[in-house]
Structure 1
């Protein structure tokens, strides 16, 4: 898609909020749009210009190469990033992110998007309370993890250092071979912390 009109035609428009809810492809429930990446296009054109100034080729071939380099680079990207570039007519430079100012992650309305640094995005979320309730989600995830395994901290070292097979040490300590194998392979596995579910949280 190359224009905002094309994108808007693929959205459900919410009259009250003004959100453009994308009905096309998504990744992890985030809209994905195949659209021009203007920053990548600018980088490619700059590289072509640098070559052109040094090139001994005929003028006509150089011009043709530059015209080709100006054609937008098409890439699959987040919906808000794609529409922000279309609306602004410029690319998103390295180190910057595009984030929604509304609470609808499926919205691709460019007027609901803002481009800035990660720090600016953090200030915005803190000010608006966009992620209010995150602590509750963290605790819920911990409860789920703890329900899946009851590995005790004092057994971790024994699992790692025991010369026994994973099946044998697991059977002796009361854990599955899969849990033992994950520990020995260095993969993170939830274990029951000493204290409450709030251990390790900065409140």
Structure 2
């Protein structure tokens, strides 16, 4: 496929305006199209939105940009249903559209990322609780937010480091804190 018309010729056009790719599909249901790849050079098999973007613009997709479908049909390759924007704009679009909202796999991945980035350790929580400095001073010294320091001082912060830091770590501590407040 070298042109949008060639791509359209291999599609089933729906009354709603979707161009559903009639060729090879990826496991996630997106089109798999052999088209010019201006980013890497030459011809290659690409996802439908990427191939459509290359055929439509005749240019490489800039580094840090992403081509993606904006409609609910995964196999749709209608150029009007394809966007090519920065990763940041794509993230805003995903959040606004709520595409990944409520998906357990995504929720667990986000929790794992947050835990890996967490600076809190049991020792650091003890240091914060024992300190006579103001919360603002502790936060500045440790390079963390005042909100985290306040939670640590109140005993609401949870540390995910250590050998027992599994997927459900912290739940018991959170439940105990809730019982103390009640």
Please give the TM-score of this superposition, normalised by the length of structure 1: 0.49
- Please report how far the alpha carbon of residue 90 of structure 1 lies from its aligned counterpart in structure 2 after TM superposition: 1.7
1:37–1:138 Cα change, 3 Å: closer
| Pair 1:134 & 2:131 matched | no
Write 1 or 2 for the structure with the bigger share of helix.
1
2-structure distance, mates of 1:9, 1:104: 18
Match of 1:81 in 2: 50
| Pair 1:34 & 2:34 matched | yes
Structure-to-structure mapping, 1:1-203, within 5 angstroms: 1-16=1-16, 18-29=17-28, 30-41=30-41, 73-135=42-104, 193-194=168-169
- Moved beyond 6 Å, runs of 4+: none
Unaligned runs of 5+ in 1: 42-72, 141-190
Note the aligned Cα RMSD (angstroms): 2.6
2-structure distance, mates of 1:80, 1:125: 16
Contact 2:18/2:76 (8 A) holds in 1: yes
1:97–1:108 Cα change, 3 Å: same
Contact 1:84/1:113 (8 A) holds in 2: yes
Structure with greater Cα Rg: 1
Match of 1:147 in 2: none
Contact 1:13/1:19 (8 A) holds in 2: yes
- Please report how far the alpha carbon of residue 19 of structure 1 lies from its aligned counterpart in structure 2 after TM superposition: 1.3
- Please report how far the alpha carbon of residue 195 of structure 1 lies from its aligned counterpart in structure 2 after TM superposition: 7.1
Q: Secondary structure at the match of 1:40?
A: coil
1-structure distance, mates of 2:94, 2:63: 21
- Please report how far the alpha carbon of residue 80 of structure 1 lies from its aligned counterpart in structure 2 after TM superposition: 0.8
* Count of matched residue positions in the alignment of Structure 1 and Structure 2: 115
1:195–1:22 Cα change, 3 Å: same
With a CA cutoff of 8 Å and minimum separation of 6, indicate the structure with the bigger relative contact order: 1
Q: Secondary structure at the match of 1:27?
A: coil
Describe the superposition over 1:60-103 as per-residue Cα deviations: whole angstroms up to 9, x where unpaired: xxxxxxxxxxxxx1111111110112112222122211011112
Unaligned runs of 5+ in 2: 109-165, 175-182
Match of 2:159 in 1: none
Please give the TM-score of this superposition, normalised by the length of structure 2: 0.54
- Please report how far the alpha carbon of residue 131 of structure 1 lies from its aligned counterpart in structure 2 after TM superposition: 2.6
